[in-house]
Chains A and B, each alone.
Chain A
Amino acid sequence: MRTGEDQLRAWMVGGLDGSAADHAALLRALVPLLRAFYRRRAHGGEDDIEDLVQETLIAVHTRRATYDRGRPFRAWLFAIARYKMIDHFRRGHRLVAVDGLEDMLVAEDFVEASHARMDVEGLLETLPPKQAAAIRSTRIDGHSVAETAAAAGIGESDVKVSVHRGLKALFARVQGERP
């Protein structure tokens, strides 16, 4: 059951005037609202969601003076909920703040790693498709020979030979490119 804006605001104003009953009614009514809000936005477990709900309830309580009686209640509530969500994920390192992203990518050699990856992809494209697929599966994606053979519907020895021939061709090509 969702409580309407008018009722929420009436309880909020009651709480601001010092009514503990109104304040408790408000907080209880916020629980389903906040759970739904976070379930729609955060892909965490139920524990995470409940943590966020509780953090937001505490924030609503301790920062209630920042609610302006003349303004919509839900806008105020969800602004706090959004802020708490961003803060929560930032502290848990599960969500990276976008303004630090570039530094982090540079620091973790993301750029070089992705250049290397593009080189490999380019080289693989010069091979026959069967050899390229065998190398990609066993050497890049980390599958075993048996898994690769089963997935492609060919024999294990066929996979081994393809990998061997493909790698040999790649070595030749890479060494041929050197001055």
Chain B
Amino acid sequence: MNTDRLIEQLARDVPPVSRHPVMRRIAIGLLGGALVSAALMIIFMGVRPDLGAAMRGGAFWMKWGYVLSISLLAAGATLKLARPDTGGIRWLWLLAVPVVLLAGFGIAEMLRAPQAMWLSMWLGHSWKTCPWRVLALAAPIFIGLLWSFRRLAPTRLRAAGAAAGLASGAFAAMVYCLHCPEVSAIFVLTWYSLGILLAATIGALLGPRLLRW
């Protein structure tokens, strides 16, 4: 087709664009996916019965704070990578801050406990299922983000996929916190992080395939 005709046709359809459309679209994808995840968690795993009591203790907020800070950073990176002119994402080294903080917390906790308990603190009751459940809960959120990306313009597809996977994993971990009764920091540091990392890896693998436009 003639380029002038193409421009004429394109210029016929110019609806106004709201402010912050990229942020809005990613927020809808993330929160929509997280709602589906929460529903799946409630149906198949169940909210921990002592949630109210747990929320008055420190362990719950330690876990939640850890995954919340990762979620925010990952959502920020996803937002950046959804635009063609990405800008730097070097500030992602900030991800090390919650990891180091939680590791310090975990070491302090272990030093206070007798050595015989260390293994059970690390493995808890659910180390075998925790990473897989986080990964499974990440799937609806990742799908939500794929929907977001359908009208966005990533140019670094692998990085964008990894960021979307990381965000899905971290949001899924926030949902999973409402079910999981584990209390030790070293447990969260290992098994939650493993689930989140799995989600990020799968995102990086799928990115170049699914995010093309």
A residues with CB within 8 A of B = 15-21, 23-24, 27-28, 31, 50, 53-54, 57-59, 61-68, 71-72, 75-76, 79-80, 82-83, 87
A20 in contact with B11 given A54-B1, A66-B83, A83-B84 (CB within 8 Å): yes
B residues with CB within 8 A of A = 1, 3-4, 6-8, 10-12, 14-17, 21-22, 25, 82-86, 151-153, 155, 212-213
CA of A19 to CA of B17 in the docked complex: distance in angstroms?
A: 11
CA of A17 to CA of B14 in the docked complex: distance in angstroms?
A: 9
- Is the pair A65, B17 in contact by a Cβ cutoff of 8 Å? yes
- Is the pair B155, A50 in contact by a Cβ cutoff of 8 Å? no
- Is the pair A65, B22 in contact by a Cβ cutoff of 8 Å? yes
The chain B residue sitting closest to A31, CB to CB, is B3
CA of A61 to CA of B11 in the docked complex: distance in angstroms?
A: 8
Q: Which of B1, B11, B155 contacts A82 (CB 8 A)?
A: B155
A61 in contact with B3 given A66-B153, A80-B84, A82-B155 (CB within 8 Å): no
- Is the pair A50, B3 in contact by a Cβ cutoff of 8 Å? yes
- Is the pair A20, B155 in contact by a Cβ cutoff of 8 Å? no
- Is the pair B3, A57 in contact by a Cβ cutoff of 8 Å? yes
* A/B interface sample: 30 pairs, CB < 8 A: A16-B16, A17-B16, A18-B16, A20-B11, A21-B11, A23-B14, A24-B8, A24-B11, A27-B7, A28-B4, A54-B1, A54-B6, A57-B6, A57-B7, A58-B6, A62-B151, A63-B153, A63-B213, A64-B17, A65-B151, A65-B152, A66-B22, A66-B152, A67-B83, A76-B85, A79-B85, A79-B155, A80-B155, A82-B155, A83-B153
Taking the closest CB of chain B, its distance from the CB of A77, in whole angstroms, is 8
The chain B residue sitting closest to A83, CB to CB, is B155
CA of A87 to CA of B213 in the docked complex: distance in angstroms?
A: 9
CA of A28 to CA of B86 in the docked complex: distance in angstroms?
A: 26
CA of A28 to CA of B212 in the docked complex: distance in angstroms?
A: 26
Q: A27-B11, A66-B84, A72-B85 are in contact. List 10 more A-B contacts (CB 8 A).
A: A23-B14, A27-B7, A31-B3, A57-B10, A61-B10, A65-B22, A65-B25, A71-B85, A75-B85, A87-B212
